[in-house]
């Protein structure tokens, strides 16, 4: 009848002691006490029913059984170390695939790729754009950068980066700019507002926060994605609405203006990482994203 394998900790203690020919050195290598190693070796000898070491003056030496187990366990642990090193190298050398919306990619991420590569030169990042069809649970994605409202999915490790703040923006080239820039928010009830079909609740959410009746909003040209919506706003075609980070560079450059500021929503910008696949690169990227958002807001 086959025996179960001995406890792994006992085998590790034996392998280290046999390799170093010293209980004290094994204890130091394993970051445990001398007594802990001795106890594990005793557990192993009792499990096998044979002595593995005998006293040799002030030291110890292997018995014949101990020599056999040293050779087998040494080979096994060497192979395990080698495979673990290979696996770690494979993970570290593989690109980290980040999914995000095309709008977020084009208007926020791409302008910062140079700084990301300078700050995190060892992170091989591959960006995958999509609109509502990206799911890090599927093979091919390591994480998702997304604006979303809680509750968060239970199978995701969610790194919350910043609360979402949205607001209306318009270009100084817009025909109604001089009339609107000092007007109260209710003046937008008379405008044909640019909007996006990918997020139809953006304008009603903002209007409700300003004490305006969302039913009184008027809509003009619709765009499929936020990127096109904001390009239309920059071109002076009307008033759009957007998350602050996606227009911050345009505001700083004077391409857009936000006369009514930005208001928080229930959503947040967050990095979603499947718990089954979380690794140190995700935490590293999340920390960089937070710093970059803070730098932009400063």
Please spell the DSSP secondary structure of 94-129, one letter per residue.
S-EEEEEEHHHIIIIIGGGHHHHHHH-TT--EEEEE
Contact status, residue 143 vs residue 273, Cβ threshold 8 Å: yes
Burial class (CB in 10 A: 0-12, 13-18, 19+), 83: exposed
Listed residue (99, 147, 152) closest to 126, CA to CA? 99
State the Cα–Cα distance between residues 6 and 2, nearest whole angstrom.
12
Residue 163 token pair: 């609360």
pLDDT tens digits along 73-110? 888 888 887 776 666 555 556 899 999 999 999 999 99
pLDDT tens-digit readout, 194-234: 999 888 999 999 999 999 999 999 999 999 989 999 999 99
Q: What is the DSSP string of 6-64?
A: PPHHHHHHHHHHHHHT-HHHHHHHHTS-HHHHHHHHHHHHHHHTS--EEEETTEEEE-H
Which H or E element spans position 290?
A: helix 280-297
Average pLDDT, the chain: 90
Identify whether 210 is preceded by a cis peptide bond (ω within 30 of 0).
no
pLDDT score, position 90: 54
**Can you say how many angstroms the Cα of residue 46 is from the centroid of all Cα atoms in its chain?**
47
How confident is the model at residue 137, as a pLDDT? 80
**Nearest in space to 121 (alpha carbons), one of 100, 92, 141:** 92
pLDDT at 135: 81
Q: Is the pLDDT of residue 146 over 90?
A: yes
pLDDT of residue 1: 35
Entry field: residues in the chain: 298
The conformational region for residue 103 under phi > 0 = left, psi -120 to 50 = alpha, else beta, is: alpha
* Structure-token pair, residue 100: 């995000």
Query: What pLDDT, on the 0 to 100 scale, is given for residue 277?
Result: 67
- Band (pLDDT 50/70/90 cuts) for residue 276 is confident
> Helix, strand or coil for residue 69?
helix
Mean of pLDDT values over 240-254: 95
Task: Return the number of other C-beta atoms located less than 10 Å from residue 187's C-beta.
Answer: 16
Residue 6 is predicted with a pLDDT of 86
Cβ distance 159 to 273 under 8 Å? yes
* Greater model confidence, 295 or 130: 295
Mean pLDDT of 16-40: 91
Report the range out of 67-76, 92-101, 161-170 with the highest average pLDDT.
Answer: 161-170
User: Poorest-confidence range of 42-56, 91-105, 167-181, 192-206?
Assistant: 91-105
């Amino acid at each position: 009848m086959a025996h179960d394998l001995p406890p792994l900790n006992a085998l590790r203690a034996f392998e280290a002691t046999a390799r170093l020919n010293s209980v004290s050195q094994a204890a130091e290598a394993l970051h445990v006490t001398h007594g802990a190693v001795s106890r594990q070796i005793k557990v192993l000898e009792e499990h096998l029913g044979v002595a593995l070491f005998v006293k040799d003056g002030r030291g110890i030496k292997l018995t014949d059984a101990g020599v056999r187990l040293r050779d087998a366990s040494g080979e096994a642990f060497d192979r395990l170390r080698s495979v673990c090193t290979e696996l770690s190298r494979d993970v570290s050398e593989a690109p980290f695939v980040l999914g995000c919306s095309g709008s977020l990619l084009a208007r926020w991420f791409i302008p910062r790729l140079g700084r990301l590569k300078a700050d995190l030169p060892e992170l091989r990042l591959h960006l995958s754009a999509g609109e509502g069809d990206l799911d890090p649970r599927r093979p091919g994605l390591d994480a998702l950068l997304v604006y979303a409202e809680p509750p968060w999915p239970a199978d995701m490790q969610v790194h919350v980066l910043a609360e979402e703040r949205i607001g209306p923006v318009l270009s100084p080239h817009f025909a109604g700019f001089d009339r609107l820039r000092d007007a109260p928010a209710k003046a937008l009830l008379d405008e044909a507002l640019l909007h996006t079909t990918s997020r139809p609740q953006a304008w009603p959410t903002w209007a409700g926060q300003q004490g305006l009746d969302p039913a009184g909003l008027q809509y003009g040209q619709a765009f499929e994605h936020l990127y096109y919506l904001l390009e239309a706003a920059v071109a002076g075609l009307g008033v759009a609405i957007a998350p602050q980070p996606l227009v911050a560079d345009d505001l700083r450059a004077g391409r857009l203006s936000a006369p009514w500021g930005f208001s928080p929503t229930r959503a947040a910008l967050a990095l979603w990482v499947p718990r089954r696949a979380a690794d140190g690169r995700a935490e590293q990227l999340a920390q960089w994203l937070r710093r970059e958002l803070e730098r932009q807001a400063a």
